[in-house]
Structure 1
Amino acid sequence: MTNTPDQSPLGKTSAYQTEYAPELLFPIPRQQKRDELGISGTLPFFGVDIWNAYEISWLNMRGKPQVAIATITVPADSPNIIESKSFKLYLNSFNQTRLANTDALLTLLRADLSAAVGSPVHIALSTPEAFSSVKMGELDGVLLDRLDIEIDQYTPAPALLSANFAEAMVEETLTSHLLKSNCLVTGQPDWASVQIHYVGPQIDQEGLLRYLIGFREHNEFHEQCVERIFIDIMRQCKPTKLAVYARYTRRGGLDINPWRTNFSTARPLNLRTARQ
């Protein structure tokens, strides 16, 4: 039986287990939403979902609490995503679990999360000794939000996207802090900054900003929104190269930052933005 979002713990009263319980993880197949976008067979992009978990705690063998920040990198071609509330419940199940050291924690996290998404994940832990080295930064690019435009549509409209096919191709990086969507199940708001890097016919910036603001009343998970943006820009504007990266604000001690690209380039830095 295939898991669906409405079967997840989202929007339901949940008992918080405080001892290790990997069965709490709730995977959801990516393909269900990709079918809506007409994506089948070979993916038109590659990339990762970068999860940052700020509320990880466990006990050492003497019962003393330990804390850390985890960064989990999930490949975009993994069969599943993990529903975020179930992820939080799973992480909380370590709260009263005794572990020998951070290696023991990493072993469990890698095994459980890789099994849930259906592909190997990469996990890095920052312990308190390294907290001072955690850096912040904002997305580079020309800020679309400077444009003084009138908005009257708050659902995604790909027809708003256009490009100048009569002129020479350009290479640009565009950013916006005005991306907002809503949780697919609960309708709770999800806030993000987004960066779009492309090579191709110059994209009309006003139309792109209107399109991005159009997600304001749209219900979809973070990963799905970024893939929708990627596919809509590819189809409407036909760039030869495209990368879309979103930094979503955290909820429940987790932030999710999907990145999709169709060309070989360095993976974006995992810099926490001011709103995160």
Structure 2
Amino acid sequence: MRALSIGWDRTVLELKMYFREREAVFFSFAFPIVMLSMFSVIFAGQDFDKASGVNAARFFLPGMVAAGVMLTSFQSVALSVSAERDDGTLKRLRATPMPPVAYFLGKVGLVAVTSIAQFGLLLALSGVAFDVRLPTDLGHWTTFVWVFLLGVGCGTVLGIAYSSVATSARSAGAVVIAPMLILQFISGVYFAFTDLPEWLKQVASLFPLKWVAQGMRSVFFPEHWQSQEMAGTWEPGRTALVLAAWLLAGLVLCARTFRWTRRGTS
């Protein structure tokens, strides 16, 4: 109970620090919202599937939701942990009576709050400004919940584990953002996944972002659009299996690689 109480206090503190960093807020929290607005306006005249009610905003919404999940979890956590390790914050926290798990609970709380808030804004923007036809049945929203939770979970633990790759806070930006940007382009976020070369699809399938995006497409796209996927179906079982495997792999990597201090220091 003490760890949970301190974890909640850490969550509040993490949120305050997060929203004070304007660059981090823009490139992780606001970025998908801005991109959805831009794409919805730029491609407003294009007919994606008028008969099924798919306009530009609905076409890009699943990708933006998936990107948002990974940006607010993987990218923001990897960058913040790298910075806190580099400036000695983690070392000082480790020397306090605070239970170590409370620190990680604070990161989980930060990701949960920002991810939910971001999705709410994306949904409001889509429905109010761009007249997106949203799901009305429980089945689609149930799928959304488990894809969202698995995506946030694996993104968070992988972000913590990946933070150890950066040797300093200065190098963290390039080490974290560059791969994340590449994955967005090959995972069906900005382009239709069917338009990608086959070998790029295979590469993207190795990483969780592709599966989060596919899961979100199964929520927001018409049912007959699943024929455009690689397997000709939404593959909910495989999506859950892959994301769960990444979640477990991230937990193992965290346990084996996480350090409270920089490399070469004690």
Q: TM-score band, normalised by the shorter chain?
A: 0.3 to 0.5
Q: Which gives a bigger RCO, structure 1 or 2 (Cα 8 Å, sep 6+)? A: 2
In the superposition, the TM-score normalised over structure 2's length comes to: 0.33
In the superposition, the TM-score normalised over structure 1's length comes to: 0.32
Query: Which protein has the bigger helix share?
Result: 2
Query: Which protein has the bigger strand share?
Result: 1
